[in-house]
Amino acid sequence: QVQLVESGGGSVQAGGSLRLTCATSGYTPSTNFMGWFRQVPGKEREGVAAIYTPNDYTYYADSAKDRFAISQDRAKNTVYLQMNSLKPDDTAMYYCAATIATLRPLSSESYQNWGQGTQVTVSA
């Protein structure tokens, strides 16, 4: 099992940047995919970005591919989401998730382990 803790959220103006961090612990070698998801109250949880940890292959939602970047630091057992050119529509609770294997890295149904979330608020 892997435990996940998100941090780095906050309030920023449109056009600003944030870097989210997902700290992992536990049996991390069993985790092959790490994903970032976001959710607004009353809406479906949306996949933002994911990474295949053995070789750093990345996946992005259309809304994120030009502005966001997911990366990992194996030595620190952490995964990051660099968010640039933030928009008010990016406002959401952001969650980190982990799974062993999936054909759909950006689907929330693919993940078993979730963090508690970190809030991102972007003002116009």
**Range 29-50 average pLDDT:** 94
Q: What six digits make up the tokens of 17?
A: 């940047």
Dihedral sign, CA of 76, 79, 81, 82? positive
Is residue 29 over pLDDT 80?
no
Radius of gyration of the chain (CA): 13
Residue 99: the pLDDT is 94
Percent of the chain past pLDDT 70, that is, above it, reads: 97
Mean pLDDT score, 8-25: 97
14: pLDDT strictly greater than 80? yes
Nearest one of 9, 6, 12, 8 to 85, comparing CA atoms: 12
**Integer distance in angstroms from the first to the last C-alpha of the chain?**
40
**Predicted pLDDT of residue 26:** 80
Task: State yes or no: pLDDT of 10 exceeds 90.
Answer: yes
Looking at residue 1, what is its pLDDT?
A: 76
| CA dist., res. 94 & res. 104, Å (int) | 19
